[in-house]
Amino acid sequence: MTDSPFHYQQVATAARCIHDGFLDYNRAFREITARAGRRFEERDWKGQMADIAARVELYELWARRTVETLRTELGEDLAGHAFWAEVRECFGLRVEAVPDAGFMKTFFNSITRRVFGTRGVDAAVEFVQPPPEEGIESLTMRRYPCWNDLDQACQRVLQDFAFERPYVNRDADARDMAATIREQLGGGEADADCLRFEFIDSHFFQGTRAYLVGRMRLTDQVRPIVVALRNDDEGIAVDAVLLTAEQVGVVFSYTRSYYFADPTSVVAAVQFLHGLLPDKPIDELYTVLGRLRQGKTERYRQLMHHLDRTDDAFVHAAGDAGLVMIVFTLPSFNLVFKIMRDVFRPPKTTTQEDVHQSYRLVSRHDHAGRLIDTQFFRNLELPRARFSEALIDELMQEAPRTVTAHGDRLVFGHAYVERRVRPLNLYIREVEEAEAKRVILDYGRCIKDLAATNIFAGDLLLKNFGVTSSGRVVFYDYDEVMLVSDCRFYELPEPDEDFPLMEHATTRFVGAHDIFPEEFIRFLAMPAFLRQTFLSEHSDLLTAEYWRDVKRRRVAGEVAEIVPYARQSIAPQQISL
């Protein structure tokens, strides 16, 4: 730094502004997160849903404010790669080895990208390499030795993770916890086999539930343990004890809403969870903990690392071509990339801005285990040589305002990136009849779960739904997503002599949010036996009254309890705010 052509104070000022901006963002993030405990105790589900949206917006808000502060502090000195290389060095030296330093460096990169309008990655001014792992030891844990008595150990856990509102029957809950553990571990020797419980020192709040997240150290293995707590009219009670990686993986799924939790180190908490769920990508764990930008950074790093180690080509994703998005994938990597067409063909009447707003709505909403989390990338660069010629031709012809070629790279002005699932219309052709019937019934439950959380999918064609690796039906085409509370549901009118509506060439004005559920039958493009299966359980979806009732409940402030474990009933329970 002594040979710097820039005044050291200017460099330090820029680095300090970014550091202070991150601290302000992180403080605001933690303040919203801290409210979740009170929301749970007071059963303020409406407030929690508002906090989901507020917290999602924080990063962009503080990144924008930080750039404005820099412009005020530095004026014309803000530009210049040589200057910013020194700012990066100054910043990096001061945050090195600080807990969650990777978050700070990601925030720094976000600022430089806004200053320079960066395409791809600018290694001259950004932190490119991931920070060193912090180690699990930086995560504060609560430990409970088990002295050959699971009931007593479970009692101590619940006592330690108490709320101001009391448990309905803590002793009974502790006995039920212990009984569940014994059953999973094989009975009589469980009390001796369990050495201790280790729980992260924070409640994890999501929807109408609070979770205790930890692991059991046994004599011969380590197993996850997640305890789900509910708060109903009588008080707080244990609702479920989850003890397998499969169960816990669903709780931390990419189709679930973001958690409100405040561990001492988010990086270490992600490492801890990854140790329990080794098949779960790191980026998804960051995202489900509410650190969306870090999740996006990790996803990009994993993609770049994968491209360096493979040679397969990006190709059109499986499924029917969309009228709004061009969707492609890398067969060896479990993501899809969605690029908006410049012009939408009929019958689509939405605009590009409408679509962006629909995706933004989903990012701020309860995912209910039915909406795939989607990340928005600006100026994403990918190697042109890795694209099939057919895909390049379509991108250049259909999205020239978004896709440009720069040397050996393709640059995407904006792209939505999400996990790849098997399109439902393809899946039902590939599986046995019993499995096809199961997923068709889950397709109906998916629509109902979304409705219960105030989401109307808009386009109910099977091709817009997919099946996850765990066999769950999810929705992933957000082009026409609306709030149920914004829709108007009608029966199809009958023709009469005065107004022969059903005659050819006779029209009546229908608004964008006017919905005729009886018409949904035309979306059920499936074999007759599957249609019959669907209608046997979900024929109510084809009635205006069903949707009006859902809307009445949403407008009245009722919230559906949709939980990610086996005790969930087929029909979501409705609770008042």
pLDDT tens for each residue of 225-238: 999 999 999 999 99
- Residue 314 is classified by DSSP as B
The confidence band for 28, taking pLDDT boundaries of 50, 70 and 90, is very high
How far is it, in rounded angstroms, from Cα 152 to Cα 144? 10
pLDDT in tens, 249-289: 999 998 888 999 999 989 899 999 999 999 999 999 999 99
**Other CB atoms within 10 Å distance of the CB of residue 530:** 20
Alpha helical stretches, state H, 121-199: 150-160, 170-185, 190-193
Strand 455-456 and strand 482-483: the pairing is antiparallel
How far is it, in rounded angstroms, from Cα 191 to Cα 314? 52
- Residue 402 is classified by DSSP as T
Query: CA nearest 106: which of 135, 139, 129, 72?
Result: 129
The confidence band for 297, taking pLDDT boundaries of 50, 70 and 90, is very high
Query: CA nearest 253: which of 166, 104, 368?
Result: 368
How far is it, in rounded angstroms, from Cα 262 to Cα 97? 20
| Residue 333, pLDDT score | 96
Query: CA nearest 119: which of 336, 409, 391, 388?
Result: 409
pLDDT in tens, 152-201: 999 999 999 999 999 999 999 999 999 999 999 987 789 999 999 999 99
CB 36 within 8 A of CB 260: yes
Q: Which amino acid is at 390?
A: A
How far is it, in rounded angstroms, from Cα 252 to Cα 153? 25
Is it the case that residue 363 has pLDDT exceeding 60?
yes
pLDDT in tens, 381-400: 999 999 999 999 999 999 99
Query: CA nearest 341: which of 353, 326, 329?
Result: 326
Is it the case that residue 2 has pLDDT exceeding 50?
no
Average pLDDT over residues 205-215: 95
Query: CA nearest 229: which of 470, 570, 569, 567?
Result: 567
The confidence band for 507, taking pLDDT boundaries of 50, 70 and 90, is very low
How far is it, in rounded angstroms, from Cα 403 to Cα 325? 13
| Residue 6, pLDDT score | 59
How far is it, in rounded angstroms, from Cα 303 to Cα 314? 12
| Residue 136, pLDDT score | 66
CB 431 within 8 A of CB 527: no
CB 423 within 8 A of CB 376: no
Residue 313 burial class via C-beta count within 10 angstroms: exposed 0-12, middle 13-18, buried 19 and up: middle
| Residue 506, pLDDT score | 41
How far is it, in rounded angstroms, from Cα 265 to Cα 134? 9
Distances (CA, A) of 77 to 7, 9, 89: 11, 12, 17
Cα radius of gyration (the chain): 26
| Residue 7, pLDDT score | 72
Query: What percentage of the chain carries pLDDT values higher than 90?
Result: 72
Paired strand residues for 458: none
pLDDT in tens, 75-92: 866 767 888 999 999 999
Q: Which helix (H) or strand (E) holds 211?
A: strand 209-218
The confidence band for 298, taking pLDDT boundaries of 50, 70 and 90, is very high
DSSP 3-state percent helix, strand, coil across the chain (nearest 5): 45, 20, 35
Annotated binding site for ATP: 317-323, 338
How far is it, in rounded angstroms, from Cα 491 to Cα 547? 11
Helices and strands in the chain: count of H runs, count of E runs: 17, 21
Annotated binding site: 317-323, 338
| Residue 572, pLDDT score | 45
Query: What percentage of the chain carries pLDDT values higher than 70?
Result: 92
**Other CB atoms within 10 Å distance of the CB of residue 276:** 19
Is it the case that residue 248 has pLDDT exceeding 60?
yes
Distances (CA, A) of 265 to 133, 200, 296: 11, 10, 18
Q: Which helix (H) or strand (E) holds 60?
A: helix 45-74
Query: CA nearest 222: which of 247, 193, 200, 242?
Result: 193
How far is it, in rounded angstroms, from Cα 516 to Cα 488? 9
Is it the case that residue 474 has pLDDT exceeding 60?
yes
Query: CA nearest 198: which of 245, 265, 139, 149?
Result: 139
Strand 374-383 and strand 403-406: the pairing is unpaired
The confidence band for 458, taking pLDDT boundaries of 50, 70 and 90, is confident
**Which residues make Cβ contacts (< 8 Å) with residue 555, sequence separation at least 6?**
485
Paired strand residues for 338: 327, 416
Is it the case that residue 307 has pLDDT exceeding 70?
yes
CB 492 within 8 A of CB 516: yes
Q: Which of the residues are catalytic?
A: 373
Terminal alpha carbon distance of the chain: 58
**Other CB atoms within 10 Å distance of the CB of residue 330:** 22
Is it the case that residue 500 has pLDDT exceeding 80?
no
Lowest average pLDDT, out of 131-135, 402-406, 462-466, goes to 131-135
